[in-house]
Each structure stands twice: as structure tokens, then as C-alpha cells.
Amino acid sequence: MADDPSVRAPGRQRPRVLGIFAHPDDETICAGGTFAKYAGAGADVRVVSLTRGGAGQIRDAAVATRATLGAVRERELAAAGRELGLTRTRCLDHPDGGLCDLDARALVDLASDLLGEFDPDVVVTFGPDGFSGHPDHVAVGGAVTAACRELRRATPVRLFHCHLPRSGMLLRDRLATWVVELTTRFQGTRDFVRALSVFSRETTALGYAADFVTVEWFPAGSYLVEQGETATEMHFLLSGAVEIRREGGDGRVRVVDRSGPGEFIGEEGIATGRPRNAHVVAVDDVTSLAFRASDPASLGGPAEQERPRTRSLPSGDRVDARVSTCIDVSDFVGHKIRATAAHRSQYPIDPEMFPDSILREMFGVEYFIRVLPEPELATSLLDD
């Protein structure tokens, strides 16, 4: 992307990379590892968010209120920028949730002003799918793309759209293996409970993992797991207590263990592939995070003809067939996770909570579609 000397404008010592997004945290989720990688290599990397994110969720009430959220998220963007090594971050104050309602020409002109102000060699923004489908993302990506096309008539610029792959990795399986391999019994803290709840649902919703994660409730006396059944799901207890009961060949049942909030249930069967070796019964009313493999046929979604063409990668991930660029950011996953944690109002996580192996597998590669310059039309079937 930006490490190619031909990318730099003549006479320029450092390539300039500009990310233009809708909300604070978009820069980290979409391209945080890539920004950290190029900043670390000496590029001048800057990010602009067109809103302060004041309409977003508040996932940590100790951090912000509805009245203060915009200012808090602006500070969080600056903190995330420091983790990524960015030269500068900037928040504009356009209406969060209302970018798609702004005059389209005015939004293109705004993007053009930002491009003219920084004169970047590389621009990164959303594609037509908005990365996650958010209307503000779609509006920003469309405006920045139009502005880059207009600018390119006079000044060369490379434009990349962020792309979110659909991973086949199961967080259920990776967590189960991690817990089983620990030398001591795992007991998650209250902070871990909250962090895993946010982390698992966000990563699966975005497609970084292929699990179907739900919060489930079991009344006292009901089974979470039955001995002898095939292991297909794993639970992480959020509240209530359960007993582990083993049934002998004579039908007698004895209690062999007890578990409570912050503990995993069913991890051994998932990790080993063997049938369940005990019953798990709710002693109190129990709530849990349940991890299952998604069933694509049951999840609905657009009709096949409406989906973009995709191709499979050796990893098993599926990407848009137009993807042109994959950036190995495995050495910068720590930067990305720390930057994510800096957006605490949205992601109340401790970056040290999760195993590095899982994080690298989930976030170690970032994908982009190169929009500009457009590929030249070939004139031969034999020449590369």
C-alpha cells in the first residue's frame, strides 16, 4: 500500500495516508492494524471522523453520559490514535446518525476539502457496503470515493475501501481449547464477564468469527448439558450456579463439582470432540452466553443473487472477489486491541484478557479493495 516508493508524491520523504470515517472507533475496527504498521514504518498517517459519535451506545456508564458521550469519544479517538502511532486524529461535529441525510454534494465537497488540506498519497474509507452496513458509513464512503475520483483528474491518489471478510473460525473452539489447556481452573472476573460478552457478540456480528452467540436463561432445575449427548455448544456463566452431576451405569447420580459466574461449561467436550461426560444442572436461575456454530441456512440474509461474488482464501475465510490487497498485521494486533480498548465507552475490555493466539488469528490480516487507480485494460491474453 504505502510502503511502495512510487506511492509518494515527488520530493516527499514520507508517504501520507489519510483515513476518513464516520465515527470514532471506525478507524481501529476497519484498518487499525494497517495504520499502525505504516505509521511504524514512517508514514504520516492521519484519521478524520466526520462525527463525534454522540448517538452511539454507552457500554460503560462510568465513562460517559448521553450528554458527554461526544466529547468522551473524541478523546477516545485521540487515545486510540496514540496507540496506533497516528500523526493526528480529528473529529468533526456533523450529526451522528444523520450523515446519510446530508446533501450529497455538500458531503463530497467536505471530503474534497479534507483531501486538499492533507494532500494524501493513499486514502482509506468505507466501500458501498459501509463495512458493517451502517448508513453513515455508506454515505461517507460514497462521498470520499466521489471526491477522490474528482481529485484524481489533477492529482494521483490511491483509494482503498476497507473490506470485512467472513471468517470460518469458531471462537467457541478456540476458547474451549484455551481453557482446557490452562494449568489452573479458569475463573473470570466481573470485568472479564463484561468484556467477553461485548467481545464475542461484536466479533461474531462483524464476521471475525462464525459463532452464533446468544444470552440464554435456564430456570433452576433445568439441564444446560446432558451426559452422553454430542458436544455442540459451550456456555459461559453470567449469573447463577450449576452442579456437575455424573450418572453411573446403575442410574445413581452424584454431584462432582459446582460452577458459578465467570466459568465455562462444556468446554471439555468441545475441545476433545467426545460426548458429554456429565450432566450440568442449574441450581439457581442461570443466565449464560451460549456459543454455537452458526447454521448459514437458518440465518437468512440476502438472496444468493444479491450477494457479492466471493472467493475462498487458504485460511477458509471468504472475501469479496474484488479484494485486491491483504495486509499482514499480525505484529500489530496488540496495537489494534489496545486502540480498541481506548474506545472504552464502546469496548470496555482489558487488552490483556484474551489469548494472543486467538487475537492474531482473528485480526492478523486486514483486507482492502483498491478503487483507484483503476486497473488498465489489457491488450493481450498472454502478457501479465
Which CATH number goes with the domain that contains 220?
A: 2.60.120.10
Is pLDDT above 60 for 296?
A: no
pLDDT band at 11 (very low <50, low <70, confident <90, very high): low
Is 204 or 88 the better-scoring residue by pLDDT?
Answer: 88
Q: How far apart are CA 129 and CA 114, in angstroms?
A: 22
Q: How far apart are CA 294 and CA 376, in angstroms?
A: 40
Q: Which of 296, 328, 362 finishes a domain?
A: 296
| Pair 191, 234: CB distance under 8 Å | no
| Pair 56, 73: CB distance under 8 Å | yes
Q: How many CA atoms lie within 13 A of 210 on its CB side?
A: 15
pLDDT band at 307 (very low <50, low <70, confident <90, very high): low
Q: How far apart are CA 287 and CA 79, in angstroms?
A: 35
Question: What crossing angle do the helices spanning 333-342 and 356-363 adopt, rounded to 10°?
Answer: 90
Which CATH number goes with the domain that contains 130?
A: 3.40.50.10320
pLDDT tens digits for 90-135? Answer: 999 999 999 999 999 999 999 999 999 999 999 999 999 998 889 9
pLDDT for the residue numbered 320? 87
Radius of gyration for the alpha carbons in the chain, expressed in angstroms and rounded: 24
- Structural domain includes residue 264: yes
Q: Which domain holds residue 60?
A: 5-165+313-372
- Structural domain includes residue 380: no
Q: How far apart are CA 315 and CA 96, in angstroms?
A: 36
Length of the chain: 384
Do 77 and 156 lie in one domain? The reply is yes
Q: How far apart are CA 38 and CA 174, in angstroms?
A: 30
Tell me the average pLDDT across 307-324: 81
- Structural domain includes residue 141: yes
pTM: 0.90
Q: How far apart are CA 327 and CA 337, in angstroms?
A: 17
pLDDT for the residue numbered 99? 94
Do 110 and 219 lie in one domain? The reply is no
- Structural domain includes residue 353: yes
